[in-house]
Structure 1
Amino acid sequence: MTEPGGASHDPVGAVLRALDLTADAQQPDVFEGQSLPQPQGRVFGGQVLAQALLAAGRTVPDGRLPHSLHGYFLRPGDDAAPIGFAVERLRDGRSFSARRTHALQGDVPILSMISSFQERQPGIEYAEAMPVVPGPDEVASALDVLGDVDHPMAKFWAQESAFDLRHIPGPIYLRPDADSPLGRQSVWARARGPVPDDQLLHRALLAYACDQIMLEPVLRRAGRPWATPGLSMASLDHAMWWHRDVRVDDWLLFTQSTPSAQGGRGLGAARVFDSDGALVASIAQEGMVRVPD
């Protein structure tokens, strides 16, 4: 991704700078953030989601980390304009804190999100097992697939994205997948550079990264590639649960499916495992998916 006013040689650093929000000196619990330029000129949904979570996290008591969020994308954002984040403190209990965050441009919300934070506590412990799939070193990266394609979106996916993505079975950037009629896929993902040792930041970056791929199973099941002429896609709502600590600069495996598509909308679901096989997060996202007749 191209840095605001700079080059794209450090995509992870550019994302970290965009996520470094500025507090409003006059208004408590109000913050401002910048956007990374996108090929379509619209704010990337994962970015504003991560920024909203970080804004909420800066208002909770120390030691409480996000365990869930539920957000609605209300309007497309302009990537050339700053975004304001207004946090409402809904509740601070003995173990949990709840926050509502509005992301605003031109005094109208582009995202409305509720998030919940919890202190670390003991409890019942179990989780699904990670499926057996080829390791990331055995799978082609987006750069391997798209590195020679001269197109702005190919350049974004292969070179400017802050995350290295490796699809199982292969990606559907340029051609459909004829071998996955149910739309299931697994994706290895890892930040292209180191990330500071801040668990709130790593959880926010997981929200950032997943928005790139959450609706891909819908396209895969429909037999459509990203390169479908006239394709129109946009995130509508996003739900996310963090189960355990996560590091986005280590390999993560997304196992994805799509239970339904109808009325110009499709639902994507994902389980996220770390490289040791621990289930670290569960995600669901519904989006607008429109293709020409």
Structure 2
Amino acid sequence: MTEAARQAAADLAKSRVMRGQPVLDGLVALLDLERIEENIFRGVSPSDSPVRVFGGQVAGQALVAAGRTVPAERKVHSLHAYFIRPGDPSIPIVYEVDRIRDGRSFTTRRVIAVQRGKAIFALSASFHHVEPGAEHAEPMPDVPPPDALPSRMESMKAYADRLGPIATMPRPIDIRYVTDPPWELRGRRDNEARNQVWMRADGTLPDDELLHVCVLAYASDMTLLDSVLVRHGVYWGFDQVLGASLDHALWFHRPFRADEWFLYDSVSPTASGARGLATGRFFAQDGTLIATVVQEGLLRIVEDES
């Protein structure tokens, strides 16, 4: 992290601002990694982080590290990642980039995130020199526009005392639920395993295409497993749910801006063996399919005997 970025993050921590441009600037600062060596970078976590590093943060930072070793004309089109150990937000994370291949059309990078000498996260990313080809895409579902829906913070206001930090921590992503929020469907086991939200960076981002991709990667880990939880009528903070992201894959199909609204439509085709699988599609507000995600998460649901 550069000195300017470090100061921006420190100012955000002191301000206790809940949303808007200052919070988004804090995320941009977190993604502005410090370059230690040619292929080694260092990042930090927010000072108000929970007990472990948010998975979307380490994925976004690792993608930044990979992207800074690739020519700007080559755009990231996919990433595949494994969450190996919980990250400690109180100490920096070192990102080691391995330049696997630089071909005529594709570039491949592997990134290992390290704390205390051990890998906590591994990412492989592929970059492609844009070229013409076949075009088709699924249409966007018919949903209400984001301006007609309350923000996530507004939706959670009545539950703030129960949820604590989940409801009150600063969030750089504006989230608006299209489907009923999972905390309002608790106790029912006949819910559809689906979750739809509008999202956008809560402010204006610089014109840096890699940054927009990394912000979407960050956001992709925020509500994806809700599609698993809602099917079983439980939710973080309300019920005894122990969970963590296990692996994560993203494919980027078309250019987009992460500070403009996009629909995140996710479903869970299956859950078994204390693991739940979720898939998601991202659509720009004009209906363009911009990205696809798949994640498996660890979900241990402790039944309430009472």
TM-score (ref. length: structure 1): 0.93
Instruction: Among all aligned residue pairs of Structure 1 and Structure 2, give the percentage whose two residues are the same amino acid.
Output: 42
Q: Is the 8 A contact 2:47 2:90 kept in 1?
A: yes
Task: State the 1:6 CA deviation.
Answer: 2.8
| Aligned mate of 1:255, from 234, 254, 265 | 265
For 1:230 and 1:130, the matched residues in 2 are separated by 34
Q: Is the 8 A contact 1:39 1:153 kept in 2?
A: no
Equivalent positions of 1:1-293 (< 5 A) are 3-4=9-10, 5-9=13-17, 10-24=22-36, 27-38=37-48, 40-147=50-157, 149-150=160-161, 151-156=164-169, 160-173=170-183, 175-176=185-186, 178=188, 181-293=191-303
Number of residue pairs the alignment of both structures matches: 287
Q: Is the 8 A contact 1:238 1:285 kept in 2?
A: yes
Q: 1:285 is matched by which residue type in structure 2?
A: Q
Task: State the 1:231 CA deviation.
Answer: 1.3
Q: 1:164 is matched by which residue type in structure 2?
A: D
Give unmatched runs, 5+ long, in structure 1.
Answer: none
TM-score (ref. length: structure 2): 0.90
Secondary structure (helix, strand or coil) at the match of 1:173 reads helix
CA spacing shift, 1:102–1:232, aligned 2, 3 Å: same
Task: State the 1:174 CA deviation.
Answer: 5.5
- State the match for 2:5 in structure 1: none
Q: Is the 8 A contact 1:37 1:43 kept in 2?
A: no
Q: 1:21 is matched by which residue type in structure 2?
A: L
Give the superposed CA RMSD.
1.7
Give the stretch that moved more between structures: 171-180 or 76-85: 171-180
The structure richer in helix per residue is: 2
Task: State the 1:168 CA deviation.
Answer: 1.8
Task: State the 1:40 CA deviation.
Answer: 2.8
For 1:229 and 1:214, the matched residues in 2 are separated by 18
Secondary structure (helix, strand or coil) at the match of 1:16 reads helix
For 1:98 and 1:38, the matched residues in 2 are separated by 34
User: C-alpha deviations, 1:228-276, integer Å up to 9, x for none?
Assistant: 3321111000000000012111000011100111111101110000011
User: C-alpha deviations, 1:153-182, integer Å up to 9, x for none?
Assistant: 1102xxx11111111222123652859623
